[in-house]
Amino acid sequence: MRTLPLLILVVLAASCAPAYLPNTRNVPLFREAQEFSAAVNVSASLDAQAAYAVTDNIAIMGNYSFLTRQFTDPDFQKKHNFFEGGLGFYGLTRKFRYEVFAGYGAGKSNSFDQYSFIAKQTGQQQQVEAEGTFNRFFIQPTLATNNRGFNLAFTARVSSTQFTEWVSNDIAYTPEPGRQIFLEPAITAIAPIKGNLRGFFQLGLNVGMGDVYYDFEPLQFSLGIQLHTGSLRTRVY
* Average pLDDT of the segment spanning 190-197: 92
pLDDT digits (tens, 9 = 90+) for 50-84: 999 999 999 999 999 999 887 766 777 888 999 99
Q: Which domains does the chain have, with CATH numbers?
A: 3-21+33-228 (2.40.128)
Size of the chain, expressed as the number of residues it contains: 237
Q: Smallest Cα–Cα separation from 35: which of 15, 57, 16?
A: 57
pLDDT, position 237: 36
- Read off the pTM: 0.87
pLDDT, position 73: 66
Q: Where are the alpha helices (DSSP H) in the chain?
A: 3-14, 116-122
Query: Around Cβ 65, how many Cβ atoms within 10 Å?
Result: 24
Query: Between the CA of residue 135 and those of 22, 102, 142, 170, 180, what are the distances in Å?
Result: 12, 14, 22, 21, 11
Q: Where is pLDDT greater, at 211 or 127?
A: 211
pLDDT digits (tens, 9 = 90+) for 215-237: 899 999 999 999 999 855 545 43
